[in-house]
Amino acid sequence: MRQKEISLNIQPIKPLDEELDDDHILSSWETPVRPDAFDLDDNQKVDKIEKHFKEIMTILGLDLTDDSLAGTPRRVAKMYVKEVFSGLNPKNRPHARLFDNKYNYDQMLVEKDITFFSHCEHHFVPIYGKAHVAYFSSGKVIGLSKINRIVQYFSKRPQVQERLTVQIGKEIGLALNTPDVGVVIDANHLCVASRGVGDTNSKTGTAYFSGKFKDENIKREFLNYINSK
């Protein structure tokens, strides 16, 4: 069966005075966090979120004395803080150990089909898909698993796909001290599929190209590679 090719379906950003409920308005490439975001430690955050999520469930009319629901507020709180939004905390940022490029490899290095799970910051429902990352070494390389960890770190926070793509690209460039980075993300958004318009077939593509990847031939080589079997 012929593999489906990655396509870039980048939607224009609409003016702020339009209807905002379903529009993904992008305000910054930095994740918007308050200066006091880490005044509380993780355990304190879990305790507070548990209390508030219990109130949400109560308002919805759920019976928290039921065995199946009784532990849900605590489970959700721990999941938020220690798993799906753990990328908000800079202490979880991956530390990339650099190695000399002893083989003098001067061609494109590509890691494709990196599975990621994130959450839409507008409705707090999942975004999931594949990230494809490439770079040219400027004399150093990093372990392949560190590329995956960088993708996961920025995914584990409330996101919009455009910001996620740029954050990964900039972090790879910073970690490797190279200006030559390419990132393509192909993702499904449950804010589109499971609610609102209810479209389960559409995907969204975004890309980040810097340095050599702005050259059309290099860009085409990268895109051809990630579309190959």
Q: Catalytic residue at 121?
A: yes
Q: What angle do CA 29, 35, 37 make, to 5 degrees?
A: 90
What gap in Å lies between CA 227 and CA 3, rounded to an integer? 8
Q: Catalytic residue at 132?
A: no
Tokens in use for 124? 């707090």
What gap in Å lies between CA 43 and CA 118, rounded to an integer? 22
Q: Catalytic residue at 122?
A: yes
Q: Catalytic residue at 52?
A: no
How many angstroms separate the first and last alpha carbons of the chain?
10
Find the catalytic residue in 24, 50, 120, 162: 120
Find the catalytic residue in 24, 132, 159, 191: 191
Q: Catalytic residue at 191?
A: yes
Find the catalytic residue in 24, 119, 132, 189: 189
What gap in Å lies between CA 21 and CA 145, rounded to an integer? 37
Find the catalytic residue in 123, 132, 171, 216: 123
Q: Catalytic residue at 189?
A: yes
Closest among 183, 132, 139, 138 to 162, alpha carbons compared: 183
* DSSP 8-state assignment for residue 11: P
Find the catalytic residue in 24, 95, 122, 152: 122
Find the catalytic residue in 161, 162, 167, 171: 161
Q: Catalytic residue at 95?
A: no
**What amino acid positions are annotated as catalytic residues?**
120-123, 161, 189, 191
